[in-house]
Amino acid sequence: MSTLTQSTAAADPSALATGRGRLTLALLCLAAFLDVVDITIVNVALPSIREDLAFSVQNLQWVASGYLLTYGGFLLLGGRAADLLGRRRVLIAGTSLFGLASLVCALAGSEGVIVGGRLAQGIGAALMTPAALSILTTTFPEGRDRHKAIGLWSATIPLASVVGVVLGGVFADGPGWRWVFLVNVPLCALVLVGAFWLLEGERVRAPRMGFDLLGALLVTAAMLLLVYTLVEAPEVGWDDVRTLAGLAGAIALLLAFAHNERRHRNPLFPFSILRIEGLAAADATQVIANAGFFAMFFFLTLYMQGVLGYSPIEAGIAYLPVTLAVGLATGVSTKLLPRTGTRPVIVAGALLGAAGIFWLARIPVDGSYMPDIFPGLVVMAVGLGGVFVGVTNAANAGVPAKKAGLAAALLNTAQQLGGALGIAIFSAIATSRTQDLLATGASEPQSLTSGFQRAFVASSLFLLAAAAIAARAPNSRGAPAPRPEPSPMPDTA
């Protein structure tokens, strides 16, 4: 390290060494916690919601899918809005919408109201997440503070997923499903108070003239159509006309968006951000890895409840070791990053994740928790923590402050698309195997278990592919000074 760099680092005190810095980090992690917990907390309460509001089976899925649809569809727009309009302003707007939509869902008396509330919740989350992550990356400089902050942020994601499963069961069996949404209201109020108290306001950076409205409409429509098609694909079939038309339409909209961005004077998505070293590789790794990890949670929950007969609360408690293992892995990974860089951490995490999920591919019909689930679950969780910490650091290293929101949105979009893609692909694999065995006269538990085994094998292969991508990616160690923004030139994809 040069003398100038050393003196600069010494002159800048650690933000995490101050009470205000630690409270700021806690606030941002709470915002991320709220966005992720609402993906899983509702799933356990779906039977109660169906019974109380007289939902049809076909429409019930949109209580869960509606949130994922708008969350994934509006992330890029939310991230760019944070850069152009101010991160605190967008975080406050998103949190307010999220809290209000949660209250609407809690008071809903019909199918349409609760589905509409879930769609609005997803839009609020799409504003909150990239704004919060970009505030984190601009508040805590690259280096030790950034590594620690992202380590805690990364641990929040799987923790929220597990807490959502447990709380969903507790509320559904206790005070009622409406508390699944009501619990968000005071937490949103806490985020709003913290945002006004801890975060500094920003000047509006959006140009008054020439805002890329067409680009905003095209990319949002493309993402909405893509996520919708992936969510529906397991139900309607990959070879169905609706699926093929949806994928073709999403690609056409994305191509039109890319053409518009190259010609626009003030593009919503400056493609120059993809020239930042390591960002594209990190996002690609996130898509592939999250497809494997997210699908694993989905199918393991189905196995525990559908084959082993676990109650929703028992299935949630079964995931508690994941939180401990992820916490340990994120702590170790955070300390390793300055020494090894991001590449070895991501590769090792992806390989551990693949090994853990492959262990789960051995689940028997008459399985039990300790010998058949626990070992693979813990190994997988250690890998999950390493991948999350490494990828998040790699995707934000060297990103100019004025594009931090867009970089955060890209990473979170990759996460959501990976999850939707994994469920769509591996559901087709599992369903095909299950139906083939049922047709030969095999029992339902045997057929289901064999389908889940095939899905786990495919998930582990995706983690191996993520390791291969990460092995060829740049190795970011988190330099203390931000990298200069690429020189102005025509943006090309």
70-109: pLDDT as tens digits: 998 899 899 989 988 899 999 999 999 999 999 999 999 9
Is 168 in contact with 42 (CB distance < 8 Å)?
yes
Statement to judge: residues 86 and 114 lie in one domain: yes
Determine the length of the chain. Answer: 493
Which range has the top average pLDDT, 266-280, 358-372, 401-415?
Answer: 358-372
439-449 mean pLDDT: 94
Vertex 351 angle, CA 347 and 357, to 5°: 145
pLDDT band with cut points at 50, 70 and 90 for residue 3 = very low
Statement to judge: residues 344 and 420 lie in one domain: yes
Statement to judge: residues 400 and 358 lie in one domain: yes
Domain with 288, as residue range(s), is 277-472
Number of domains comprising the chain: 3
Last residue of a domain, one of 178, 201, 224: 201
* CATH number (domain holding residue 152): 1.20.1250.20
pLDDT surpasses 80 at 5:
no
Statement to judge: residues 84 and 53 lie in one domain: yes
Residue 13 lies in a domain: no
Cβ neighbours around 302 below 10 Å, total: 17
Statement to judge: residues 375 and 311 lie in one domain: yes
Last residue of a domain, one of 177, 201, 225: 201
Residue 227 lies in a domain: yes
pLDDT of residue 206: 52
pLDDT band with cut points at 50, 70 and 90 for residue 9 = very low
d(CA 402, CA 389): 23
Statement to judge: residues 249 and 146 lie in one domain: no
What are 359's two structure tokens?
A: 């262990």
Statement to judge: residues 260 and 292 lie in one domain: no
What are 125's two structure tokens?
A: 């989350």
pLDDT of residue 210: 58
d(CA 271, CA 491): 5
Identity of the residue numbered 305:
Q
Last residue of a domain, one of 172, 201, 230: 201
Sequence-ordered alpha helix ranges (H) in 143-212: 144-173, 179-182, 184-198
pLDDT in tens, 291-305: 999 889 889 988 998
Residue 463 lies in a domain: yes
Cβ neighbours around 282 below 10 Å, total: 28
Residue 16 lies in a domain: no
pLDDT of residue 436: 93
Nearest to 350 by CA among 475, 456, 476, 465: 465
Cβ neighbours around 480 below 10 Å, total: 16
pLDDT band with cut points at 50, 70 and 90 for residue 7 = very low
By CB atoms closer than 10 A (0-12, 13-18, 19+), residue 213 is exposed
Statement to judge: residues 48 and 164 lie in one domain: yes
Statement to judge: residues 451 and 321 lie in one domain: yes
Residue 4 lies in a domain: no
pLDDT of residue 483: 43
Residue 183 lies in a domain: yes
Q: What is the pTM of this model?
A: 0.86
Statement to judge: residues 195 and 226 lie in one domain: no
Vertex 207 angle, CA 205 and 209, to 5°: 165
Statement to judge: residues 257 and 282 lie in one domain: no
Q: What is the DSSP letter of 371?
A: I
For CA atoms 165, 327, 342, 28, give the dihedral sign: positive
Statement to judge: residues 385 and 242 lie in one domain: no
Residue 485 lies in a domain: no
d(CA 40, CA 162): 8
pLDDT of residue 6: 39
Residue 10 lies in a domain: no
Integer angstrom CA distances of residue 309 from 40, 240, 266, 366, 373 = 19, 33, 56, 10, 14
